[in-house]
Structure 1
């Protein structure tokens, strides 16, 4: 362990400390969830349903770009999406679920900080110094991932899934629960995917992945990114690149991180 005091602590003592870290983390989620529940007008009308409207920032930007480039396929979400609720308690349960997800998203930096406070005493001072920026970078990447998913992937996915038809005789009337689960899944997935450099950092630190391993599967990662972009975007190159390019950048940054860790480890071994 990193400190002498932690060596003297029993397993139950560690569990007690962990319990209070978890209590504070859940309390922060609960507080932000209550705020989201109270301000449901902003959460639903502006945030949740926003990407489906023609006045949404991304939709307006793409339509303007479509007129300049004479590419009408880029102009998305101009027809209002019909969303309905078919369950008696559907809107209430959806309200609670969305508030909980919003609480997790907003409280994520604090949750990660509580996790760091629990792990920190087990680290040596040198390891603590190397990991001081972990909270900042993890929170920043998570936020960037959420914003990217919300402003880029969500509008493209809503347009593709909301207008896709197997037959002109079948009308798309989207269930509220389905719409909400799609938006929340995309947003949370975006935040987690953008944590890829952090995951690679820790995996490289313990020797589970290497820069050589990541380079070996570089082509596979590009193919996966292209397939993902092709599935959720309209059939045009610009939209696909908007989704694919950041994913490739994240993977390449992971290779750089792993290479730096290996170089540092080799230098320490040489010394």
Structure 2
């Protein structure tokens, strides 16, 4: 295919991927009442099931709307975010379909692994952010008071923004093994380098955990532990890729 033909194929790939996300958003819109009531507002209730799992004693959060369009955009925004998460496998699928014809049979296995892993780790991270990080952070800020005369009341748009940030942010952070796979594939990153910089990675992970969580040591540790686990997993991913590259180079030399 010529360069222009490739651009045309890419355009249709993006259109199909976007259409898949729009379909997911449209489906979510039919369940908007349930999604808003159970997904968006769910963590504000003391009976949210994760509070029992995390052994927390929750307080009920009171949400307020201080702008004319606050509830409208919180409603629409929630549907879009849930639709993006639900439609992410469709995006990965069509991008894979676009890249696949240009790969050798040996490369297709690795790219197939990357496509599946990217979807899995993003959904895993989003679930972690929503089910663990969000309840911990909400309860910390709900129970933090300077004085009994000050009542905590959360604006609906601020609440929506923070829940989205915690959910999508951890989803992207959990893509670390996939990013390492690609960097190791092109020879930019090696397992030896990752082991050498492990102590700096620990500092970076603690910094990210402190940024995402409230100033609560327990919450920071709960977030930092899986991120450190992902870093260690990424070392093994880089080691596996390096071994495969060495084998391929050995076969080429022969």
TM-score by length of 2: 0.90
Structure 1, unaligned runs of 5 or more: 1-8, 64-74
Query: CA–CA distance in 2 between the matches of 1:267 and 1:16?
Result: 36
- Describe how 1:145-164 pairs up with structure 2 within 5 A: 145-164=125-144
Query: CA–CA distance in 2 between the matches of 1:23 and 1:128?
Result: 23
- 1:241-265: CA deviation from partner (whole Å, max 9, x where unpaired): 3322111110011111111211222
Displacement of 1:182 in angstroms is 0.6
Contact 2:180 2:189 survives alignment (8 Å): yes
- Describe how 1:16-165 pairs up with structure 2 within 5 A: 16-63=8-55, 75-76=56-57, 78-165=58-145
Query: CA–CA distance in 2 between the matches of 1:261 and 1:166?
Result: 52
Displacement of 1:233 in angstroms is 5.2
Query: CA–CA distance in 2 between the matches of 1:42 and 1:50?
Result: 10
Contact 2:121 2:175 survives alignment (8 Å): yes
Query: CA–CA distance in 1 between the matches of 2:180 and 2:216?
Result: 32
Structure 2, unaligned runs of 5 or more: none
Contact 2:62 2:153 survives alignment (8 Å): yes
How many residues were matched structurally?
Answer: 250
Contact 1:29 1:100 survives alignment (8 Å): no
Alignment match, 1:203: 183
Contact 2:64 2:156 survives alignment (8 Å): yes
Displacement of 1:176 in angstroms is 0.6
Query: CA–CA distance in 2 between the matches of 1:61 and 1:149?
Result: 15
> Cα RMSD between the aligned structures?
2.0
Contact 1:84 1:175 survives alignment (8 Å): yes
The counterpart of 2:225, out of the listed 226, 232, 245, is: 245
The counterpart of 1:186, out of the listed 151, 160, 166, is: 166
